[in-house]
């Protein structure tokens, strides 16, 4: 049944603190989870993952949500309004901490975001053994913790030694908590592709029966470091005959209207390249299902394990990407697609040329990627693994360790 409670919540589209009913889903359980994480809007890979987990978690436990979403894609507390929003988040976590059997917290990777996380740890200091943190990124957190003598690392480690558990996306991020969070309390849960994006093998085969033009898709928020500018330059540098045989589609959001306008301007004079804006649902699925190749040449500072790569697998695409952050846990060169060097326009041009001349090889990669996604990256697998960790925390919260 549903139980509407009055709860102080932070809303990204509001500048005031309000009391409003928040829905807690009550099941036949006395267990309660405080869920502190970003949810759409805006739509990011992390927000999608959090929403998918929340949907499943709420079927099994009472859940109180503290939404950490920001209005923009930018990292760091750049605006005064964000300062007050963070204050509301910390206050909400502090107020609900003692009533929760488990506190689920997604952690940040910028210095400002980490300061917020440290304040949440402090607010929940008497409940740290019931806190499970989820690192949905990796690259940025590694930079935060890279100096063993820094005050930032030392303060983080003091809290991390006392938490109940940590979740990372893959093997490449395990070392971030090594020697701090016991191995038995460190868990790997890879990302996933949502069910609606899975294409049937017959449709993938039909797609590769016609590769004129060959469809290349970039679908991600178009942030600095995601590689969209380099992809466009690499495409523009193709031999004219190859360029005319490839259609390049971009989709996703920008940090600002100025950045979007500048990108649209850069597309002028490139007839087979198109920007579709932010896409969701059926439009997103159609772009993935039409694509032969998905290209994400990322070197993004806060990259973890891109959902978009797994979405491309589920949709039956070969992939062009970099060996950056957690990509290596889910992607192998010449197996799932072609690897390119970060920031390298020349490398992208070479990969596109190679792909355009090997349609049969791409077909085999795409079908294999669809099989891999079905076996390893289903939404239900992700939800089951996440729920198992929370249930274990409820039954046997991690004991605090002196440090």
> Which tens digit of pLDDT belongs to each residue from 214-223?
999 999 999 9
- What average pLDDT does the segment 113-134 reach? 97
CA Rg, the chain, in Å?
Answer: 22
Residue 72 is predicted with a pLDDT of: 59
Residue at 402 is within a domain? no
Structure tokens at 321: 């990407």
Structure tokens at 330: 């889910």
CB contact at 8 A, 277 and 283? no
Q: Per-residue pLDDT tens for 225-273?
A: 999 999 999 999 999 999 999 999 999 999 999 999 999 999 999 999 9
Q: Cα separation of 322 and 144, whole Å?
A: 22
Q: Cα separation of 331 and 318, whole Å?
A: 11
**This prediction's pTM:** 0.89
Same domain, 30 and 100: yes
Residue at 33 is within a domain? yes
Same domain, 289 and 329: yes
Residue at 401 is within a domain? no
Residue 237's domain is classified under what CATH number? 3.40.50.2000
CA angle 31, 159, 145 (to 5 degrees): 125
Question: Percent of the chain having pLDDT more than 90?
Answer: 84
Tell me: pLDDT of 2 over 90: no
Q: Which residues of 59-88 are buried (b: 16+ CB within 10 A; e: fewer)?
A: ebbbbbbbbbbbeebebebeeeebeebbeb
Same domain, 6 and 144: yes
Residue at 351 is within a domain? yes
Task: Look at the block and give the residue holding tokens 């820094």.
Answer: 150
Same domain, 179 and 244: no
Local structure of 180: helix, strand or coil: coil
Same domain, 388 and 362: no
Mean pLDDT of the chain: 89
Same domain, 215 and 266: yes
Same domain, 134 and 156: yes
159 phi/psi in degrees, rounded to 5: -75, -40
Q: Per-residue pLDDT tens for 353-367?
A: 999 999 999 999 999
Residue 15 is predicted with a pLDDT of: 28
Residue at 400 is within a domain? no
Residue 166, Cα to own-chain centre: how many angstroms?
16
pLDDT classification of 83: cutoffs 50, 70, 90: confident
- What average pLDDT does the segment 327-340 reach? 98
Structure tokens at 381: 């697998």
Same domain, 43 and 182: yes
Q: How many independent structural domains does the chain possess? A: 2
Residue 14 is predicted with a pLDDT of: 32
Boundaries of domain holding 218: 195-376
Same domain, 202 and 324: yes
Tell me: pLDDT of 307 over 50: yes
Same domain, 170 and 55: yes
Residue at 9 is within a domain? yes
Residue 73 is predicted with a pLDDT of: 53
Residue at 259 is within a domain? yes
Determine how many CB atoms are found less than 10 A away from the CB of residue 31.
17
Tell me: pLDDT of 32 over 50: yes
Q: Per-residue pLDDT tens for 156-199?
A: 999 999 999 999 999 999 999 999 999 999 999 999 999 999 99
Same domain, 104 and 238: no
Local structure of 337: helix, strand or coil: strand
Tell me: pLDDT of 401 over 50: no
Same domain, 229 and 104: no
Residue 197 is predicted with a pLDDT of: 98
Tell me: pLDDT of 151 over 60: yes
Residue 71 is predicted with a pLDDT of: 65
pLDDT classification of 70: cutoffs 50, 70, 90: confident
Residue at 237 is within a domain? yes
- What average pLDDT does the segment 101-114 reach? 95
Q: Cα separation of 35 and 105, whole Å?
A: 6
- What average pLDDT does the segment 322-342 reach? 98
Tell me: pLDDT of 22 over 50: no
194 phi/psi in degrees, rounded to 5: -65, 150
Residue 26 is predicted with a pLDDT of: 41
Residues near 390 by beta carbon (within 8 Å), at least 6 away in sequence: 33, 57, 61, 102, 104, 132
For residues 8, 9, 14, 19, the Cα torsion angle rounded to the nearest 10 degrees is: -30
């Amino acid at each position: 049944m549903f139980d509407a409670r009055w709860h102080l919540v932070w809303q990204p589209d509001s500048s005031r603190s309000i009391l409003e009913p928040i829905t807690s889903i009550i099941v036949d359980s006395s267990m309660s989870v405080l869920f502190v994480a970003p949810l759409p809007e805006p739509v990011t890979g992390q927000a999608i993952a959090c929403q998918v987990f929340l949907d499943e978690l709420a079927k099994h436990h009472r859940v109180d949500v503290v939404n950490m979403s920001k209005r923009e894609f930018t990292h760091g507390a750049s605006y005064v309004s964000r300062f007050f929003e963070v204050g509301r988040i910390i206050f909400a976590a502090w107020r609900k901490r003692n009533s929760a059997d488990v506190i689920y917290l997604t952690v940040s990777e910028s210095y400002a975001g980490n300061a917020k996380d440290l304040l949440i740890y402090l607010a929940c200091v008497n409940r740290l053994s019931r806190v499970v943190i989820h690192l949905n990124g990796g690259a940025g957190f590694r930079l935060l913790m890279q100096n063993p003598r820094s005050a930032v690392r030392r303060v983080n480690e003091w809290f991390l030694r006392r938490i109940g558990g940590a979740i990372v996306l893959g093997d490449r991020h395990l070392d971030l908590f090594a020697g701090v969070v016991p191995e038995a309390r460190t868990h790997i849960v890879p990302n996933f592709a949502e069910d609606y994006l899975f294409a049937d093998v017959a449709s993938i085969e039909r797609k590769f029966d016609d590769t004129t033009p060959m469809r290349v898709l970039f679908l991600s928020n178009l942030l600095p470091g995601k590689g969209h500018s380099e992809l466009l330059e690499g495409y523009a540098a193709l031999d004219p005959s190859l360029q005319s045989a490839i259609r390049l589609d971009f989709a996703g959001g920008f940090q600002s209207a100025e950045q979007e306008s500048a990108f649209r301007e850069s597309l002028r004079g490139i007839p087979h390249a198109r920007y579709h804006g932010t896409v969701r649902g059926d439009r997103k699925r159609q772009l993935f299902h039409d694509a032969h190749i998905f290209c994400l040449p990322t070197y993004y500072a806060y990259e973890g394990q891109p959902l978009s790569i797994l979405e491309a697998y589920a949709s039956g695409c070969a992939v062009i990407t970099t060996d950056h952050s957690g990509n290596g846990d889910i992607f192998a060169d010449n197996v799932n697609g072609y690897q390119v060097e970060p920031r390298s326009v020349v490398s992208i041009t070479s990969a596109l040329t190679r792909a355009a001349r090997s349609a049969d090889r791409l077909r085999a990669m795409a079908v294999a990627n669809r099989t891999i996604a079905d076996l390893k990256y289903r939404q239900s697998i992700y939800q089951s693994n996440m729920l198992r960790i929370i249930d274990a925390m409820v039954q046997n919260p991690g004991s605090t360790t002196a440090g």
